[in-house]
Amino acid sequence: MQSTESLIGDAFKFENTFARLPPSFYSKQKPHAVRSPVLIKFNDALASELGLDLSNLSDAAKASVFAGNIVPSSSDPLAMVYAGHQFGNLVPRLGDGRALLLGELVDRQGRRMDVQLKGSGPTPYSRMGDGRSWLGPVLREYVVSEAMHALHIPTTRGLAAVETGESVHREGVLPGAVFTRVSSGHFRVGTFQYFSYRGDIPNLRLLARYVQRRLYPDTLKVSNPPLAFLKAVVKAQAQLVAKWLGVGFIHGVMNTDNMSVAGETIDYGPCAFMDGFDTNKVFSSIDQQGRYAYSRQPAIACWNLAMFGSTLLPLISTNQKSAMKLAKKAIESFEHEFSRAWDAVARAKLGFAKQREEDESLALDFLTILNEEQVDFTHAFRHLSNAGNQFRKNDSIRGIFKDKAGIDTWLAKWRERLKHEDVGEASRQIAMKEANPSCIPRNHQIEKAINVAMTGDYSAFNSLLEAVVAPFDERSPENQFFRAPKPEERVERTYCGT
């Protein structure tokens, strides 16, 4: 009979192109084995996209791999180094303090994907941390990242979650867990800042070329590849943040080390989806100044991109002045890229396939009336999806506003605008329900799933996960995953969980 190690070795075909870069890019590090790993969840659908067939492995064998107890023979694990502006202050060296890159898998579409363990023990970059994670943040990241994917928002994915059978010490003693995430590359603005801060231009150039080859190969074919790279990242980030705003998502810690140059949502910490709409909403317990509030996210993304652009200056041109000029222009394109992306998101949410001048103010007016009463963001757009092209007294959208006159005035303008569309009511409603989810991973549901899981019962986690990966399904107003929290159920604070 084949040993578990050998079955695991056969199943995983890791490649290690990042590990072939010079040693200054990482520290080779093995995961620290844990006492008794138990598989919580394995993402079969994602595994299949990755061409990863683990059908020969038992759950126990999977748990061993995704806890870091057995390292597949093709893996060359390492912790990546990076720097980062944390709440505006540059920290010259951060790095993966609790994460390890196992290697890369080339997926069915030919994309090279990173597979990383999170919570697998200390690394040379752990500083004061223990390199571990507790169960809460692992379940939160699993649910939220898979929800984001289902909402068509670029994100790192959740491949597996494992209990370690060990305790971690935070505010109290908590159950330990390891999360396995997959991304198109864990390259952060901070990765570039690390080499830039040291004035290490050769490695900066190497990093840029490596990342471009993986993420933006077309930018290598033009006359100024580093500038094209910057522009591509600006565009990807602008589109990402517009999509966040479209579902009421607040990342919570948009430090430059938590911003991926792939334009994917990364590093789910104290993130949350809003219930009631409030443009200044902040959930994170550590964001006391509201630096990363909902509506500040575009401006912060732009600031982070300026930091990214400044790292590329020596690659853009040897003439500093001209490099500055070119980079500045690329950064300034954020505003245009963002507003274009946001307009597209808003139009889809309002049910407009065509583009008209009044769309922008219609969207803004709707958000303004939502903000006044802090109406549930998700409900407002889902009810609007079902509203008629003609006035109907019992349209559910009217029921969620106290100020009926306010919403009626707006709805009248919206209906006027709909007259310019070619499609009929039914098709418009179907299209809108593909842009406006009936279910998002609400904070109180996540918290409930974590609390129940702490008793060893994953049923709430499993049903929440099942709901959020089908966000556009029809749901009745009483459905627990449609419902907004009652005042006493609301969860207004989220924590880093580190």
Q: Can residue 97 be called a binding residue for ligand AMP (CB under 6 A)?
A: yes
Query: Of these, 132, 181, 235, 291, which contacts ligand AMP (CB under 6 A)?
Result: 132
How far, in Å, CA of 101 to CA of 15, rounded? Answer: 11
279 binds, among ligand AMP, Mg ion, none (CB under 5 to 8 A by kind): none
Q: Can residue 156 be called a binding residue for Mg ion (CB under 5 A)?
A: no
DSSP code at position 220: G
CA–CA distances in Å: residue 301 to residues 13, 41, 307, 332, 495: 36, 33, 10, 12, 21
* Positions in 269-328 near ligand AMP (CB under 6 A): 269
Distance in Å, CB of 251 to Mg ion, minimum: 11
Q: Can residue 267 be called a binding residue for Mg ion (CB under 5 A)?
A: yes
Residue number with CB closer to ligand AMP (98 or 448)? 98
Residue 121's region, left for phi above 0, alpha for psi from -120 to 50, else beta, is: left
Distance in Å, CB of 125 to Mg ion, minimum: 11
- Which range, of 23-31, 90-98, 271-279, 398-406, touches ligand AMP by CB under 6 A? 90-98
Residue number with CB closer to ligand AMP (15 or 130)? 130
How far, in Å, CA of 258 to CA of 254, rounded? Answer: 6
- Pair of tokens at residue 66: 């995704």
Distance in Å, CB of 312 to ligand AMP, minimum: 22
Question: Using alpha carbons only, how large is the chain's radius of gyration in Å?
Answer: 23
- Which range, of 110-118, 196-204, 267-275, 422-430, touches Mg ion by CB under 5 A? 267-275
How many Cβ atoms are within 10 Å of 20's Cβ, its own excluded? 10
Where helices occur in 198-290 by DSSP H, the ranges are 201-215, 225-247
Report whether 277 contacts 249 (CB < 8 A). no
Is residue 365 annotated as a catalytic residue, yes or no? no
* Positions in 220-259 near Mg ion (CB under 5 A): 258
Number of residues that bind Mg ion (CB under 5 A): 2
Q: Can residue 94 be called a binding residue for ligand AMP (CB under 6 A)?
A: yes
How many Cβ atoms are within 10 Å of 424's Cβ, its own excluded? 9
How far, in Å, CA of 384 to CA of 370, rounded? Answer: 12
Report whether 299 contacts 290 (CB < 8 A). no
129 binds, among ligand AMP, Mg ion, none (CB under 5 to 8 A by kind): ligand AMP
Q: Which of 257, 267, 287, 376 is catalytic?
A: 257
131 binds, among Mg ion, ligand AMP, none (CB under 5 to 8 A by kind): ligand AMP
In the complex, which residues of this chain contact ligand AMP (CB under 6 A)? 94-98, 125-126, 129-132, 253, 255, 258, 267, 269, 496, 498
**Could you give the residue numbers annotated as active site?**
257
